[in-house]
């Protein structure tokens, strides 16, 4: 009669599931990682908004300069000149007053309705150079200063 040989692969130790401490540590590590990802997402959104406002300022300065080029005689005569103002003026009957009204309204609509969103136009008749300045508050952007200024100058 033959005897049967049995082989045991058990090394003597007992392997069980995860301990409660291991699960707790992994949950903490995962939570810290997710919080880091959320912080990155928030900063990305802030900087995206800041970039959008800067792009709008560029486009709206060109918008006003194009309107002034279409009405070059009034621009050179300094009729478009506008001191720094943060209030949308009432739409008047002239082309100049309508252009300034719609430009400042577009600033408020696209950059921000806050009292810090302002516009300024300066034309010098002697040199035919006109400058458009746009001011707004960008303290939400990371590392950004509170008041931003975008300035564009051109010869009419």
Q: Is 2 within a domain?
A: no
Task: Note the pLDDT tens digit of each residue in 119-141.
Answer: 999 999 999 999 999 999 887 76
Q: Is 62 within a domain?
A: yes
Cβ pair 123, 81 in contact under 8 A: yes
Q: Is 51 within a domain?
A: yes
Q: Is 145 within a domain?
A: yes
Q: Give residue for tokens 């300022």.
A: 57
Task: Note the pLDDT tens digit of each residue in 79-121.
Answer: 999 999 999 988 888 999 999 999 999 999 999 878 889 999 9
Task: Note the pLDDT tens digit of each residue in 7-58.
Answer: 555 555 666 667 888 888 999 999 999 999 999 998 888 888 888 889 999 9
Range of the domain at 141: 22-155
Q: Is 65 within a domain?
A: yes
SS (H, E, C) 60-112: HHHHHHHHHHHCHHHHHCCCCCEEEECCCCCCCCCHHHHHHHHHHHHHHHHCC
pLDDT of 87 = 92
pLDDT of 64 = 96
Burial 85-124 (b: 16+ CB within 10 A, else e): ebebeeeeeeebeebbebbbebbbebbbeeebbbbbbbbe
Q: How many domains does the chain have?
A: 1
pLDDT of 6 = 57
pLDDT band of 142, cuts 50, 70, 90: low
């Amino acid at each position: 009669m033959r005897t049967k040989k049995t082989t045991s692969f058990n090394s003597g130790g007992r392997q069980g599931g995860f301990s409660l401490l291991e699960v707790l540590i992994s949950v903490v590590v995962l939570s810290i990682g997710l919080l880091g990802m959320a912080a990155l997402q928030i900063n990305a959104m802030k900087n995206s908004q800041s970039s959008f406002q800067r792009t709008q300022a560029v486009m709206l300065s060109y918008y006003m300069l194009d309107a002034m080029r279409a009405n070059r005689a009034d621009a050179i005569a300094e009729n478009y000149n506008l001191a720094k103002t943060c209030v949308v003026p009432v739409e008047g009957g002239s082309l100049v007053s309508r252009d300034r009204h719609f430009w400042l309204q577009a600033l408020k609509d696209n950059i921000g309705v806050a009292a810090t969103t302002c516009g300024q136009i300066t034309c010098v008749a002697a040199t035919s150079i006109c400058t458009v300045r746009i001011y707004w508050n960008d303290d939400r952007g990371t590392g950004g200063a509170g008041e931003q200024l975008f300035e564009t100058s051109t010869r009419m």
